Chain A
Amino acid sequence: MAGKRFTSTTVDIEGREETRVVELPSFTPDAWGDGAGLSIVGTSALRADGVEKATGRARYTSDVRQSGMLHAVILRSSIASGKITSLDIGGALAVTGVRDVLTALPGITRGGLPLFDRTIRYAGQPIAAVCADTEEAAREALRAIRVTYERMPHAVTAADALADHAPRVRGDNDNRPDDSPRTLERGDIDRGLAESDVVVRAEYRTPVALHTALEPHGSVAEWEDDRLTVWEATQGIFMIREHLARAFAIPMSHVRVIMQYMGGGFGAKNGAGPHSYVAAAFARRIGQPVRCINDREAEQMDAGNRPATVQRVTIGAKRDGTLTVISVDADVPIGIGGWEGGPGQIYHEVYRCPNVRTVDRYVYINASAMASFRAPGHVEGAFGLERAMDELARELKLDPLKLRTINYATLDQKKNRPYSAKHLDLCYDLGAERFGWSNRQASNETHQGARSSLRRGFGMATQIWGGGGGPPAYATVRINSDGSADVLTGTQDLGTGARTIFAQIAAESLGFALDQVRVVLGDTERTPLTGNSWGSITTASVGPAVRMAGEDARRSLLEAAGELMKAEPSALDVRDGVIRAPGGTQTMTVHDLMDSLGDVMIIGNGSRGPNPDGISLSAFGAQFAEVEVDIETGIVRVLRIVAAHDSGRIVNPALAESQLHGGIIQGLGYALFEERVMDRALGIPMNPTMHDYKIPTMMDIPDIDAFFVGGADTMANHIGAKGLAEPPIIPTAPAIANAVADAIGRPVREIPLTPWRVLYAMRDERP
């Protein structure tokens, strides 16, 4: 085997490009092309953990019960800005069953700010925590803590935070992160404007959206000497390990993080949070396991959000529809912190246009920090860009789909390089065909008249997203003496189906039947490292490592078989768990082979290799929407969505379809109902419940026809797969909004499209 070599590669995670030095795999399997003759990959195998979930046996973090476990709860600020002048915990300590109260956690910070701080920067900020024998006692004690505040002015909108003499949200700057505004430009905007025959200028607004995962953030922590075990609802067990090791000044190898089942993440569960630090801190001080799980109000108040945006768009084209200029100036109030996934990026990526300028102006406000939320930035940006494209099409009297195909980009515009594969044209063609796009006006006429206030409308929108994945990701495959195989990899299954698809990939590469393979994941101590499940990168990152581990184990298996069967290993094949000599002269099951070898184990290892140089890896898609708007009440009903997506190879079509449904339905909520309502005068979110923050119910679901086009992207990686979890949420809201605009014959520039916004839009006004 060749000596180890290390190389640099770039990985795209939710629009951020990172360069990493990585180990080159010891071998690279031939890529699985469309004609690879795969028999397990590409089938709709049933979800590997379906029985556990359907029977209630699956143990989520909030179901973990350890012997002697105590309960911690967190007290949160009721004001948006100010100082704590007194914090009296005497009453709390007097409650029966209370074990400990924390009012400071020295050295532990979140977003560069102390976790428990006497300075209040937003409503819902943690200020103290109680630990008790029961959760009930802990809550009673929480109510007995007396806090007095000195209130100070707050700013909960970008405009308020950017005004002269605005309160300093973080104290140390002008409410702008160091690199804000972030400007990105290609070509010359002024030249583009001068060359335009038609220019549309409009301002688009998107709301703060809350992840609203059904399982809240939570943690159960237990210490043994200076070793910490944590059950955590997380998208990144290794990131939690790193955060907790740093916070408690212990080696990373002393922290074990376990996540077997999680009730939804959607981007908000990537790192340690107050609950994690509080559980681990109490557990260490008291010497017993401690559970700390957000209640629903805490989850809706302070567990991440998709920030609001205001996007001022200028878009221009020649009379024939050729784009000459795209420009956006966006305000993004991110809360008191968070990373910056801006709406600007997608403006550079989707359409061929020589002159593009984006300004993303991030602003600190007195509100809970944002967190990545399914395609952060692109979801917000797609609304502005795709609405502006429709307004431009209307001005040009061009079909909206035609305007998009006129400006089809064959190259990655932003990086000026080719894509590994791009089948957006097929998404347009097949999506339009299945939707009946070219017949839509005729169908509109046939549906008029039942009630005169109902209007039908049709719209579509485009999507682009990374999701090419990359290193590091490792996997081990163990063939056991009973002929079964275990796949060990340190990723997590958020409900996406990772457990299932990695079993499929391993079974395929091993030549085993699917039921011989089991996936072990979600445990930092028992599995090799992979990254977070974010950016739709898990399949494309971990999949190749799993495949390689399977191939590695298969090689050893066939060498052992060659010895036993007196045959040349390279002439042997294994399929469905049966080893065959050429011509079918001799067969042996893997079970019998392993049995003859005695009590041994065959081990294969795999790692994710670097990405190809100079090529962009992206997923594409287009969605088409039909809506019905009641112009008297402003109520919008989405009747139909057709979604055509290109995400390379689809490992499991049924599970992939479920992901498309999920993205579309979350996008529908974003388009029609979802909105954190902030009281500007008080600085307090008004709707931190599931009744008042409206997510879609079964009554809201349109007829959905979601499917994939294209095929294996063998240039991207050797399993040919790209990301598909985030892409489907990106075009849904603009497609619906475009359909509403079509129905009412007026521009729609703000979501969610609640009835009053629709009624105002019909008068070309904003509420």
Chain B
Amino acid sequence: MILTVNGIAHERDIPQHETLLGALRDTLDLTGTKLVCDRGECGACTVLVDGEPHYACLTLAAACEGVSVTTIEGLAHGDLHALQRAFIEHDALQCGFCTPGQIVAASALLARNPSPTDDEIRHWMSGNLCRCGTYPKIIRAIRAVADARRAGHGG
């Protein structure tokens, strides 16, 4: 099959029952997307499928032929995505294991709703678990990007 990830078309033999998460991590060696619960409970494997957030652990790779998959590795056009920069600047990450999923989910939020309230941020992001407890700073980081975009500067 042909799996288009981060703008690159990969032709690979991927079994029909393989998950998108397995294909990304084990076939394409894109290990930024993390496996944590393997059953759609934690959000660590969040990727974009045609711009919409999906749990890669619950998505079949075979269902992704002809669509465009974006992972944490392909989120930035250039150096860093504004959310990546904001997560670093606000220390919105500790161990970093949930971070790729958090940033990808947040990018989908801002694409859909450029000016979310804090309650909207909390609601949208509540499917992405973090055990280190960085939530307050994740809210700050997302808020900062939204505010900067509204003010007309920053990616």
Which A positions have Cβ atoms within 8 angstroms of B? 44, 46-47, 49-60, 62-63, 65, 211-215, 261-264, 266, 295-296, 494-497, 654-655, 657-659, 661-666, 689-691, 695-699, 701, 704
Q: Are B41 and A689 in contact (CB under 8 A)?
A: yes
Partner of A494, one of B35, B95, B125: B95
Q: Which 10 pairs of residues, A with B, have the shortest CB-CB distance?
A: A56-B32, A495-B95, A263-B97, A53-B96, A665-B133, A662-B133, A50-B88, A56-B72, A63-B31, A495-B94
Partner of B135, one of A52, A295, A698: A698
Give the CA-CA distance A408 to B137 in the complex, in Å.
34
Q: Are A264 and B97 in contact (CB under 8 A)?
A: yes
Q: Are B131 and A212 in contact (CB under 8 A)?
A: yes
Give the CA-CA distance A649 to B4 in the complex, in Å.
50
- What are the residues of chain A within 8 A of B29 when measuring CB–CB? 65
Partner of B122, one of A494, A659, A695, A699: A699
Interface of B is mostly: loop
Per-residue contact bits, chain B 26-41, to A (CB 8 Å; 1 contact, 0 not): 0001111111111101
In this assembly, does B73 line the interface, its C-beta being within 8 Å of a C-beta of chain A? Answer: yes
Give the CA-CA distance A664 to B94 in the complex, in Å.
14
Q: Are A53 and B99 in contact (CB under 8 A)?
A: yes
Known: A666-B131, A691-B37. 10 other contacts (CB 8 A): A47-B93, A51-B84, A51-B88, A63-B31, A211-B131, A212-B131, A264-B131, A495-B97, A666-B133, A696-B135
The distance from the CB of B97 to the nearest CB of chain A, in whole angstroms, is 3
Give the CA-CA distance A691 to B133 in the complex, in Å.
17
Per-residue contact bits, chain B 125-155, to A (CB 8 Å; 1 contact, 0 not): 1111111111111110000000000000000
- What are the residues of chain B within 8 A of A46 when measuring CB–CB? 88-89, 91
Contacts A263-B95, A495-B94, A689-B41 hold; do A662 and B132 have CB atoms under 8 A apart? yes
- What are the residues of chain A within 8 A of B8 when measuring CB–CB? none
B-side interface size class:
35 or more
Partner of A60, one of B87, B97, B126, B137: B97
Contacts A215-B95, A263-B96 hold; do A698 and B122 have CB atoms under 8 A apart? yes
In this assembly, does B80 line the interface, its C-beta being within 8 Å of a C-beta of chain A? Answer: yes
- What are the residues of chain A within 8 A of B129 when measuring CB–CB? 214, 690, 695, 697
Closest to A58 in B: B96
Give the CA-CA distance A666 to B129 in the complex, in Å.
12
Q: Are A695 and B126 in contact (CB under 8 A)?
A: no
The distance from the CB of A121 to the nearest CB of chain B, in whole angstroms, is 27
Per-residue contact bits, chain B 18-58, to A (CB 8 Å; 1 contact, 0 not): 00000001000111111111110110100000000000000
Give the CA-CA distance A496 to B31 in the complex, in Å.
22
- What are the residues of chain A within 8 A of B130 when measuring CB–CB? 214
Give the CA-CA distance A664 to B80 in the complex, in Å.
31
Interface of A is mostly: loop
Q: Are B38 and A495 in contact (CB under 8 A)?
A: no
Closest to B98 in A: A214
Give the CA-CA distance A74 to B71 in the complex, in Å.
30
Q: Are B94 and A214 in contact (CB under 8 A)?
A: no
Give the CA-CA distance A663 to B84 in the complex, in Å.
24
Closest to B72 in A: A56
Contacts A63-B31, A699-B123 hold; do A495 and B71 have CB atoms under 8 A apart? no
Q: Are A50 and B33 in contact (CB under 8 A)?
A: no
The distance from the CB of B121 to the nearest CB of chain A, in whole angstroms, is 8
Q: Are B103 and A54 in contact (CB under 8 A)?
A: yes
Closest to B123 in A: A699
Q: Are B71 and A658 in contact (CB under 8 A)?
A: no
Partner of A665, one of B30, B88, B127, B135: B135
Per-residue contact bits, chain B 79-111, to A (CB 8 Å; 1 contact, 0 not): 010001101110101111111100100000000
In this assembly, does B76 line the interface, its C-beta being within 8 Å of a C-beta of chain A? Answer: yes
Q: Are B137 and A690 in contact (CB under 8 A)?
A: no
Give the CA-CA distance A263 to B100 in the complex, in Å.
12
Closest to B96 in A: A53
Q: Are B133 and A55 in contact (CB under 8 A)?
A: no
Q: Are B42 and A655 in contact (CB under 8 A)?
A: no
Q: Are A56 and B33 in contact (CB under 8 A)?
A: yes
Q: Are B96 and A689 in contact (CB under 8 A)?
A: no
Closest to B83 in A: A54
Closest to B74 in A: A56
Q: Are B131 and A698 in contact (CB under 8 A)?
A: no
- What are the residues of chain B within 8 A of A63 when measuring CB–CB? 25, 31
- What are the residues of chain B within 8 A of A655 when measuring CB–CB? 91
Give the CA-CA distance A329 to B139 in the complex, in Å.
43
- What are the residues of chain A within 8 A of B103 when measuring CB–CB? 54
Q: Are B32 and A57 in contact (CB under 8 A)?
A: yes
